[in-house]
Structure 1
Amino acid sequence: MSELPAGIDSFLKSAGWGGADIDPIPGDASFRRYFRIKDSSGDGGRKAMLMFAPPPEEDPKPFLRVARWLSGNQQRAPEIYADDAPQGWVLIEDFGNDRMRDWLDDNPAGEMKAYQAAIDALVDLHQQPAGPFNPYDLAVYQRETALLTEWYCPAMGLEVDQAGYIAAWEEALSPMFDRQKPGVTVLRDYHAENIMLLDPATDGSGAQGLIDFQDALVGHPAYDLVSLLQDARRDVSPALERAMLDHYIARAQPDAEFEADYARLGAQRNAKIVGIFTRLNKRDGKPHYLDLIPRVWEAMERDLAHPALAPVAAWFGVNIPQELRDAKGGRPQ
């Protein structure tokens, strides 16, 4: 067992969970740590999830703010039992073990229903007025796409046209901004590893819970759809992507440019992810993320084929060789 953080016992005691069993959960791509808490002292026992988001690297206040907004707007975020935000402690409802990703590994026949339920949850979220969060504006989009030229290109030994890259993205994304007003709440990391199946039916249609939403912004309704259907961590077939995109369109009735904006945001998000995964290897010593990059390139190539991405596709054509963008290429060392 890894060493428990200082202060964990005193926080649990102050929250009314003193003496409970503490089971660390393996971490991944951040400084946050999670612990499953079980208190067997009462009738039937209690369980909870403890998040430790230690300052200065982490700040749990955005998580608390978004969780409370989601819960107050008919969305299934975990209930907050107790918190000490200045010290990084948050005790929340335990959604169990059935991550959508893991459940689908064991129940592939439930894929269609599980994704339909995830799409329906997005439609419901998008029918609510946007939360009191910062805008997903051009500066944020550009800061994210810059991760590719900041991390991936140097890792591959590429000298690229940085000014041209910025200009290409501005040209491609600018037509979209009028259509993301007034905007919807964008969770920003909505995919099968961040969706919990709370009571999974045999066909995957059970209730779903949200996690990892602390970076929420106000932006375009296509963004979380892209995050779900162009998943960097799980294969989503083009046929399933198409079927779920059609399901969203049938329910939400977006404007005629929605699919063009979906491609714009798919390319934008995938460029960001290639940069992030390279950074996780180079800076944080987590090389297993490199194995996911070919899947991301494959999705981005489909996005770049859309006419709305012509300026960005032209830049890639000049600056990043095609063999690096093929599904089996482009893995930094």
Structure 2
Amino acid sequence: MIQNSPSRFNLFLPDESATIAFGEDLALLVKPGDCIALSGDLGAGKSTLARALIRAVGDDPMLDVPSPTFTLVQSYDVRIPLYHLDLYRLTHVSELDELGLDEALEDGVVLVEWPDRAAGALPATTLWMELTHQAEGRRLDISGPSQKLDRLIRLRAIRSFLDEHGFRGVKRRFLVGDASTRAYERLHMPDSKTLVLMDSPRQPDGPPIRDGKPYSQLVHLAEDVRPFVAIDRLLRDKGFAAPEIHAADLDQGILVIEDFGSGSILDDQGLPVPERYEAAVECLAWLHSNTFPAEIPLDDGRTHHIPNYDRSAMKIEAELILDWHIPWKRGGEVASPQERANFVAIWDHLIDELGTCEKTVVLRDFHSPNIIWREAQHGHARVGLIDFQDAMIGPSSYDLVSIVQDARVTVRRPLMDMLMARYFTLRREHGSFDEESFVKSWHIMSAQRACKLNGLWVRLLQRDRKPDYMRHMSRTLWHLAVALEHPIMSPLREWCIKAGIEVAESEP
């Protein structure tokens, strides 16, 4: 049972296995910079909880986790660097500097036993956990910043959901997080099978930036899990490999879905496997040869309307290069009003050119991180689709851009051209296909996506403190250069030259 308040909550752990289970669950939400203070009498369970957390982060139940009583600190090079401190033998708070507490918190998680010996030297954001004996078990009192407590309350809510839906006691292990607020866990079932848990809480809207709407609404990002459930049903009904949903709480944003495994369309060196990319393009060609309803009924009585990839969404995405890339490139100097006006006018004209192009369901991020290779399956079932909650009705060319100009890995020009040719062949075989119109649309959407991404990488760096995405910049600048090869892109090409955007003329 959990009792909640704005600054603290507590729960009862009936036995050692419950303490271990809580430590394993806690491993799912720790992040670099977290400091967790564990207090309690000898034998209260501090080391048991710490050991369970460390082993779960390392995903190794046999990981040797000795007590740091005599060494004062033990470090672990696991998914997130972990530092386990025992301050029982600390003689003066100044010794914390020698232990490297501040350095450890820069990139890792610190667990501190006997934190009272630190005499107030722990960070203000520390999460405090006090274990005390209660009956045959332990009472755990937790206090700390509300943001961290909210994460813990969410953690327990997911565990309660699993218990209520027949997954009591299942082991949860971190799977992946993405550039959004979603996170994924792998659930290890007693029969050795695995499922995936999607943790996607509804997020509050950001500030309005245009027409009284926040960015997420302008570009039609999913605000809860209902769009995922709807598009999943749509794809499965058409015979595509989208995961089966085993349990759902649509209001809380919790789904238990089929685990497609970890197969990739990349090889062990992270390079494209041509045959797998070709299979993905073949799947896409079949997808684009189907027709889909725009209204999808859900089990809770609501209906999901697939939004249109409209003018406002395309423009505000493209403008990310104005808002973020140009100031970054110019050392803080923003685009001039005239530069902005010219850019917007160019895009209004290009979007007008899309008026007669083919439109269908656009999955939006059809590229290597979101395609699971299912070696044991056949045909289109080999191509597992897992990320489509932001799907829209828009130019079919967009998803082909996403895969042949993969934002995360370089698809070299010969392979890109081969994949395009294969797609065109299949579309012609499946029925009427206006290749000339499609090619024009492809170049426009390639440029739109490249403008968005070359701004997004900077936004992730500067606003969201996620610098790793910047390594993709040279690739997506090259993608922009390829997009600008079509004659219709001449005005945008000239604009980029005058603005000083260094499009890459050769592959990165």
Give the superposition deviation at 1:170.
1.5
State TM-score, norm by structure 1.
0.89
Q: Are 1:188 and 2:335 counterparts?
A: no
Runs of at least 5 residues in structure 2 that lack an aligned partner in the other structure: 1-26, 30-151, 205-222, 295-305
Identity rate, percent: 32
Q: Measure the CA separation in 1 of the matches of 2:458 and 2:253.
A: 28
Residue 140 of structure 1 is aligned with which of 313, 332, 335? 313
Determine if contact 1:169/1:311 at 8 Å carries over to the other structure.
no
Give the superposition deviation at 1:138.
1.7
Q: Measure the CA separation in 2 of the matches of 1:91 and 1:318.
A: 50
Residue 232 of structure 2 is aligned with which of 51, 67, 75? 67
Q: 1:197 — aligned with what?
A: 373
Q: Measure the CA separation in 2 of the matches of 1:175 and 1:326.
A: 25
Determine if contact 1:280/1:286 at 8 Å carries over to the other structure.
yes
Q: Measure the CA separation in 2 of the matches of 1:122 and 1:13.
A: 38
Q: 1:105 — aligned with what?
A: 268
Determine if contact 1:281/1:287 at 8 Å carries over to the other structure.
yes
Give the superposition deviation at 1:200.
5.4
Give the superposition deviation at 1:28.
2.9
Give the superposition deviation at 1:142.
0.6
Q: 1:48 — aligned with what?
A: 195
Q: 2:393 — aligned with what?
A: 218
Q: Measure the CA separation in 2 of the matches of 1:312 and 1:121.
A: 32
**1:155-170 superposed matches below 5 A:** 155-157=328-330, 158-160=333-335, 161-170=339-348
Q: Measure the CA separation in 2 of the matches of 1:200 and 1:168.
A: 47
* Superimposed CA distance per residue, residues 222-264 of structure 1 (whole angstroms, 9 cap, x where no aligned partner): 1100000011110101000000100000110231222222111
Determine if contact 1:22/1:36 at 8 Å carries over to the other structure.
yes
SS of 2:393's partner is: strand
SS of 2:287's partner is: helix
Give the superposition deviation at 1:55.
2.2
Q: 2:14 — aligned with what?
A: none
* Larger relative strand fraction: 2
Residue 250 of structure 2 is aligned with which of 85, 97, 118? 85
Cα root mean square deviation, aligned: 2.2
Q: Measure the CA separation in 2 of the matches of 1:327 and 1:312.
A: 15
Q: Measure the CA separation in 2 of the matches of 1:222 and 1:154.
A: 30
State TM-score, norm by structure 2.
0.59
Q: Measure the CA separation in 1 of the matches of 2:403 and 2:499.
A: 28
Corresponding letter in the other structure for 2:475:
R
**1:177-326 superposed matches below 5 A:** 177-180=355-358, 183-199=359-375, 207-253=382-428, 254-255=433-434, 256-321=436-501, 324-326=502-504
Q: Measure the CA separation in 2 of the matches of 1:131 and 1:155.
A: 42
Larger Rg belongs to? 2
SS of 1:119's partner is: helix
Work out which structure has the larger RCO, using CA pairs closer than 8 Å and 6 or more positions apart in sequence. Answer: 1
Residue 195 to residue 263, structure 1, CA distance change in 2 (3 Å):
same
* Superimposed CA distance per residue, residues 275-296 of structure 1 (whole angstroms, 9 cap, x where no aligned partner): 1111111111011111111100
Residue 38 to residue 286, structure 1, CA distance change in 2 (3 Å):
same
Determine if contact 1:131/1:218 at 8 Å carries over to the other structure.
no
SS of 1:23's partner is: strand
Determine if contact 1:172/1:312 at 8 Å carries over to the other structure.
no
Give the superposition deviation at 1:76.
1.0
Give the superposition deviation at 1:46.
3.2
Give the superposition deviation at 1:106.
5.2
Q: Measure the CA separation in 1 of the matches of 2:503 and 2:269.
A: 31
Q: Measure the CA separation in 1 of the matches of 2:246 and 2:28.
A: 25
Residue 36 to residue 145, structure 1, CA distance change in 2 (3 Å):
same
Give the superposition deviation at 1:273.
0.7
Determine if contact 1:99/1:194 at 8 Å carries over to the other structure.
no
Determine if contact 1:118/1:208 at 8 Å carries over to the other structure.
yes
Residue 88 to residue 303, structure 1, CA distance change in 2 (3 Å):
same
Runs of at least 5 residues in structure 1 that lack an aligned partner in the other structure: 329-333
Q: 2:327 — aligned with what?
A: 154
Corresponding letter in the other structure for 1:64:
V
My pick for the range that moved more, 131-140 or 239-248, is: 131-140
* Superimposed CA distance per residue, residues 24-72 of structure 1 (whole angstroms, 9 cap, x where no aligned partner): 12423121111100111xxx44321001011225521211111111111
Give the superposition deviation at 1:205.
9.2
* Superimposed CA distance per residue, residues 118-172 of structure 1 (whole angstroms, 9 cap, x where no aligned partner): 0111111112113411111222111210111111122223432111111011112
Q: 2:302 — aligned with what?
A: none
* Larger relative helix fraction: 1
SS of 1:50's partner is: strand
* Superimposed CA distance per residue, residues 83-127 of structure 1 (whole angstroms, 9 cap, x where no aligned partner): 1121121110001011223xx23596x822111110111111112
Residue 316 to residue 232, structure 1, CA distance change in 2 (3 Å):
same
Q: Measure the CA separation in 2 of the matches of 1:107 and 1:193.
A: 11
Q: Measure the CA separation in 1 of the matches of 2:326 and 2:270.
A: 39
Give the superposition deviation at 1:186.
0.5
Q: Measure the CA separation in 2 of the matches of 1:245 and 1:259.
A: 10
SS of 1:124's partner is: helix
Q: Are 1:173 and 2:374 counterparts?
A: no
